[in-house]
């Protein structure tokens, strides 16, 4: 018996891992890591909202549930884009 692939994957982008350190995104056979230190928007989100990612154009990703959009360049070089979301600052 021979198992053959029935077709190509239709997913151009998908989240492949969520850990206590960050989120891994696979886009066009390239794995991108988004550590929470650089991408704090993802840290306290549900798995469902993180997995819901769309590629709006090549290399431009959007998470509609958390209203975050990032490009491959931002993910690969966060130091070039110093603006980050502020952490939740609760009054003490």
Buried b (16+ CB within 10 A) or exposed e, 15-50: beeeeeebbebbbeeeebebebeebebbbebeeeeb
* Residue 24 · residue 32 · CB < 8 Å: yes
Model confidence at 86, pLDDT cuts 50, 70, 90, reads low
Model confidence at 85, pLDDT cuts 50, 70, 90, reads low
* pLDDT value at residue 89: 43
User: What are the residue ranges spanned by the domains of the chain?
Assistant: 13-80
Pick the CATH number of 13-80 from 3.30.2020, 1.10.3470, 1.25.40, 3.40.50: 3.30.2020
Convert the pLDDT of each residue in 6-51 to its tens digit: 444 456 899 999 999 999 999 999 999 999 999 999 999 999 999 9
């Amino acid at each position: 018996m021979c198992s053959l692939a029935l077709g190509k994957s239709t997913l151009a982008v998908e989240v492949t891992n969520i850990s206590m350190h960050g989120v891994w995104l696979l886009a066009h056979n390239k794995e991108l890591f988004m550590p929470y230190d650089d991408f704090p928007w993802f840290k306290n989100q549900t798995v469902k909202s993180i997995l819901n990612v769309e590629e709006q154009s090549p290399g431009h990703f959007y998470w509609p549930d958390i209203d975050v959009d990032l490009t491959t360049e931002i993910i690969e070089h966060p130091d070039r884009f110093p603006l980050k979301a502020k952490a939740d600052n609760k009054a003490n």
